[in-house]
A and B are shown apart, each in its own frame.
Chain A
Amino acid sequence: MKRYSAFAVAREAFRYHMGWERAWASPEPKKKYDAIIIGAGGHGLATAYYLGKNHGITNVAILEKGWLGGGNTGRNTTIIRSNYLQDPSAAMYEKSRSLYETLSQDLNYNIMFSPRGVMMLAQTQHEVRGYTRTAHANALQGVDTEFISPERVKELCPIMNIEGPRYPVLGALWQPRAGTARHDAVAWGLARACSAMGMDVIQKCEVTGIRQEGGKVSGVTTNRGDIACDKLGIVVAGHSGQLAEMAGFRLPIESVALQALVSEPIKPCMDVVVMANTVHGYMSQSDKGEMVIGGGADGFNNYTQRGSFHHIEETVRALCETFPVINRLKMLRQWGGIVDMTGDRSPILSKTPLGNCFINCGWGTGGFKATPGSGWGFAELMAKGQSPLCDEFSLDRFKEGRFIDESVAAGVAH
């Protein structure tokens, strides 16, 4: 792998940019790997990356049904924050946020991490109390957040209408180190780094069955032949239920559609991320100038990557009240992704009833922010069979009744 640098750009400028190599290879699958990761989205690639980087396991294949990063990795609204309420969540998301800070340097790939700050608006007394509590919890967890006044909200985001009338802004939970990153670049950079370590990123390779011997996983059946493996990691978000069924167990997960939309690009008008959970909407401005808007998830099981019109209306209506300046913006694109929701709105990173088969799922509406942290913890779990980051997120927590209840802290947007 040739390093990307200012020197490389200058060198290529002198030879008509003919010297750039492919960022990652497209190999044929081998017969056997030490570990197979199903799903080449952000979390799957991050898992493979840290398996190689932290644990020296590089005989790894990452299998992808479609194209790399074409699922929820390329469909989210790129928000990165760690202001969660519960300790296990704060540990996981803060680890992830801190890894994002140096990920561009680690990967030698610009993921455009922009710690511009995220504010979650409190628009009811209930939210004021909730976020004040979260700010206190975060202080104990070592996560840098504070509860700020409406005046400070207005100062940070002048285009916002804080007067209401229906939902006046009463304050906000402000995390200055949170922000956004380029989601595609995270997948591409990780794939490039995995490929450079000798791992095989295999696209258009759909897993159709999971083979087992004596209660342990022995390989997978794919549309490109059988591939054997010692360890298997399932990291497929919305389709986790299908893969779990192939492996012979059932997950406490329901798949629903979550959608987002972007406007036409406009001049810079907002340099923070604003989330308004009471009115079901959140917005940030991308580096291209588009306003990136997300809203609530569908209430019913759904595998179509579409979304529904009345949710767009609900979200946009709320944001027009909050940001009157966007009233006349045209919307460019709208899309949906399938998110895997657990009962407590926290993920599952766990061993499974099938030996040497591990699952990383249940990130629901908020997986992008956790990409490197999830990979870090899940790689450790796969390599050593145990990880302090993942312990609390095991599959049996539902049976044991020890939920990591983030539905209160997360609200709608996540």
Chain B
Amino acid sequence: MLMLTCPNCGVTGEESEFAPGGEAHLKRHGPGSSDEEFHAYLFAKENPRGVHFERWRHANGCGKWFHAARCTATLEVFGTYSAQTTEPPKDIKDKISAKRPGWSWREVE
């Protein structure tokens, strides 16, 4: 079972305490976007076998949203951080780079 720490209230809990909310750091395309962009935003999700950034909600806790960096192949959680960002904080990126040599942050489309 996944163990996550909510960065908003500091509580560490099991996965059943949280609700997954899909891919993080999406650029939300809206009116005025091209069909390609809108399609990519809605459907063409990142689906990596490895490092992944996701939104989670502390549903049975403080109720707030946050982001998590997680490996989809091993379920290792690299860390959680505030949802009020456009990319992961440096310490989390460094931690992932140390554990997954060759990994680098991609610019979000």
The chain A residues found within 8 Å of chain B, CB to CB, are: 239, 241-242, 250-255, 298-304, 308-310, 343, 398-399
Q: With A and B bound together, what is the CA distance between A304 and B70 in angstroms?
A: 13
- Is B45 positioned at the interface, with any CB of A under 8 Å from its CB? yes
Nearest CB in chain B: distance from A180 CB, A: 30
4 new A-B contacts, CB < 8 A, other than A250-B44, A252-B44, A301-B52, are A300-B20, A302-B72, A303-B49, A310-B14
Q: Would you call A299 and B19 a contact (CB within 8 A)?
A: yes
Give every chain A residue within 8 A of B39 (Cβ-Cβ): 398-399
Give every chain B residue within 8 A of A254 (Cβ-Cβ): 45, 47
Q: Which of A252, A255, A301, A308 has the most CB of B within 10 A?
A: A301
- Is B107 positioned at the interface, with any CB of A under 8 Å from its CB? no
Nearest CB in chain A: distance from B53 CB, A: 10
Q: In chain B between 49 and 84, which residues have their CB closer than 8 angstroms to a CB of chain A? A: 49, 52, 54, 70, 72-75
Q: List 25 A-B contacts (CB under 8 A).
A: A241-B47, A241-B49, A242-B49, A250-B44, A251-B44, A251-B47, A253-B47, A299-B19, A300-B20, A300-B54, A300-B70, A301-B47, A301-B52, A302-B75, A304-B73, A304-B75, A308-B1, A308-B2, A309-B1, A310-B14, A343-B42, A398-B43, A399-B35, A399-B39, A399-B43
Give every chain A residue within 8 A of B2 (Cβ-Cβ): 300, 308
- Is B86 positioned at the interface, with any CB of A under 8 Å from its CB? no
- Is B15 positioned at the interface, with any CB of A under 8 Å from its CB? yes
Give every chain A residue within 8 A of B15 (Cβ-Cβ): 308, 310
> A301 contacts which of B1, B43, B54 (Cβ < 8 Å)?
B54
Q: Name A344's closest neighbour in chain B (CB-CB).
A: B43
- Is B104 positioned at the interface, with any CB of A under 8 Å from its CB? no
Q: Name B73's closest neighbour in chain A (CB-CB).
A: A303
Chain B 8-38, CB within 8 Å of chain A: the 1/0 string? 0000001110011000000000000001100
The chain B residues found within 8 Å of chain A, CB to CB, are: 1-2, 14-16, 19-20, 35-36, 39-40, 42-45, 47-49, 52, 54, 70, 72-75
> B45 contacts which of A242, A252, A304, A399 (Cβ < 8 Å)?
A252
Q: With A and B bound together, what is the CA distance between A93 and B96 in angstroms?
A: 44
Q: With A and B bound together, what is the CA distance between A303 and B47 in angstroms?
A: 10
Q: Would you call B20 and A310 a contact (CB within 8 A)?
A: no
- Beyond A301-B54, A304-B73, A304-B74, whether A398 also contacts B16 by CB under 8 A is no
Q: Would you call B16 and A310 a contact (CB within 8 A)?
A: yes
Give every chain B residue within 8 A of A343 (Cβ-Cβ): 42-43
Q: Would you call A301 and B72 a contact (CB within 8 A)?
A: yes
Q: Which of B35, B44, B47, B75 has the most CB of A within 10 A?
A: B47
Q: With A and B bound together, what is the CA distance between A304 and B49 in angstroms?
A: 10
Give every chain B residue within 8 A of A399 (Cβ-Cβ): 35-36, 39, 43
Give every chain B residue within 8 A of A301 (Cβ-Cβ): 47-48, 52, 54, 72
Q: Name A249's closest neighbour in chain B (CB-CB).
A: B44
Q: With A and B bound together, what is the CA distance between A398 and B45 in angstroms?
A: 12
Q: Would you call B72 and A398 a contact (CB within 8 A)?
A: no
Give every chain B residue within 8 A of A303 (Cβ-Cβ): 49, 72-73
Q: With A and B bound together, what is the CA distance between A399 and B38 in angstroms?
A: 8
Give every chain B residue within 8 A of A239 (Cβ-Cβ): 49
Q: Name A252's closest neighbour in chain B (CB-CB).
A: B43
Q: With A and B bound together, what is the CA distance between A300 and B20 in angstroms?
A: 6
Nearest CB in chain B: distance from A158 CB, A: 34
Q: With A and B bound together, what is the CA distance between A299 and B42 in angstroms?
A: 17
Q: With A and B bound together, what is the CA distance between A308 and B15 in angstroms?
A: 9
Q: With A and B bound together, what is the CA distance between A181 and B34 in angstroms?
A: 46
Give every chain B residue within 8 A of A241 (Cβ-Cβ): 47-49
Q: With A and B bound together, what is the CA distance between A301 and B72 in angstroms?
A: 6
Q: Name A301's closest neighbour in chain B (CB-CB).
A: B72
Give every chain B residue within 8 A of A242 (Cβ-Cβ): 49
Nearest CB in chain B: distance from A318 CB, A: 15
Nearest CB in chain B: distance from A175 CB, A: 31
Give every chain B residue within 8 A of A251 (Cβ-Cβ): 44, 47
Nearest CB in chain B: distance from A301 CB, A: 5
Q: Name A306's closest neighbour in chain B (CB-CB).
A: B75
Q: With A and B bound together, what is the CA distance between A251 and B75 in angstroms?
A: 22
- Beyond A299-B19, A343-B42, A398-B42, whether A310 also contacts B1 by CB under 8 A is yes
Q: With A and B bound together, what is the CA distance between A302 and B75 in angstroms?
A: 7
Q: With A and B bound together, what is the CA distance between A301 and B21 in angstroms?
A: 10
Q: With A and B bound together, what is the CA distance between A383 and B47 in angstroms?
A: 30
Nearest CB in chain B: distance from A46 CB, A: 25
Nearest CB in chain B: distance from A339 CB, A: 12
Nearest CB in chain B: distance from A161 CB, A: 26
Nearest CB in chain B: distance from A398 CB, A: 5
Q: With A and B bound together, what is the CA distance between A253 and B44 in angstroms?
A: 7
Q: With A and B bound together, what is the CA distance between A241 and B49 in angstroms?
A: 9
